[in-house]
Amino acid sequence: MDPAPACPGPDLRPHGPTRYRVPPGAVDTHAHVIGLPPAYPFVASRSYTPPEATAERYLGMLDATGMTHGVLIQVSVHGTDNRLTLETLRAHRERLRGIAVIPLGLPDHALAALKDAGIVGLRLNILYGGGIGFEQLSSYAALAREMGWHLQFLIDARDLAALAPKLADLPVPFVIDHWGHFQVSRGLDDPGFRTLVSLVRDGAWVKLSGAYRNTVGGPPYTDTIPFVRLLHAAAPDRCVWGSDWPHVAHWGPMMNVGDLLDLMADWVPDDTARNRVFVDNAHRLYGFRPVAASDAGLVR
């Protein structure tokens, strides 16, 4: 079997939720833009081969679903080559922010260029290949603190217990992607999930995203509801939502982003609390400015 099999692209006709209205200023905090070789090479260590995911298509998804802002996460298949992410951020400075994957030791001018483009954090990733692991966590934390950034972790919840003491001592905020890639078949009492809830309660941020990665039952992902409700209850002011577009490394039924947005009506049923996840929390973490009523729905 190909060690990096091709994965399908996203639904080409995205739509918004049917169960509520996305609030003005809403932020999709997790998405990727992906280029194709040879212009944008793929790393050899990748575990999947994605199709192209252009900035234009991503912005079209934001428009179609009613999202005002987006946060681009450096995708693992491009390793530490952040060029496409940075090019996209520079072209849409008001609408987008980014999370980079970088080696240590970059010169000051390179770090300044990242920040100027709209990078607000660094990602450490021990899943899917092509990422930066946790061996130099303290050094990345020191760099993030110096730059005014946060850290973002793509990690399996089963690995959190061993890392929890180090995470608790980090000098910067940190975010856990897709609520730790936790498989709900392990149950609410699983030690990894209990560690995740404890970390979130004590100060971690968590992305309410990736339901299709965490589910056992498949669409409409109702088996994820009790888990996300516990995470949200642990820290309603440190939960953010992400589409995970274009849904890389996923070979199951391809959802529409509108389906994932509708699930939020079950994850966070209260309108005010849900709007906080979409807007207030995300603006605070990623540094977006408030959106005036006259700007709602404006394409930037």
pTM of the shown model: 0.94
Whole-angstrom distance, CA of residue 128 vs CA of residue 155: 10
CA distance 53 to 35: 7
User: What's the fold here for domain 27-288?
Assistant: TIM Barrel (3.20.20)
Task: Give the pLDDT mean for 217-221.
Answer: 96
Mean pLDDT of 160-176: 95
Asked if the model's pLDDT at residue 297 lies above 90, the reply is: no
Question: Where do the structural domains in the chain lie, given as residue ranges?
Answer: 27-288
Amino acid at position 173, single letter:
P
Which pLDDT value is given to residue 299? Answer: 34
Mean pLDDT of the chain: 94
Give the C-alpha separation, 44 to 4, whole Å: 9
Which single residue is written with the structure tokens 């009492």?
189
**How far is the CA of 27 from the CAs of 30, 66, 106, 126, 189, in angstroms?**
9, 10, 29, 25, 31
User: What integer pLDDT is reported at residue 298 of this predicted model?
Assistant: 36
Closest CA to 191 of 162, 154, 214, 229: 162
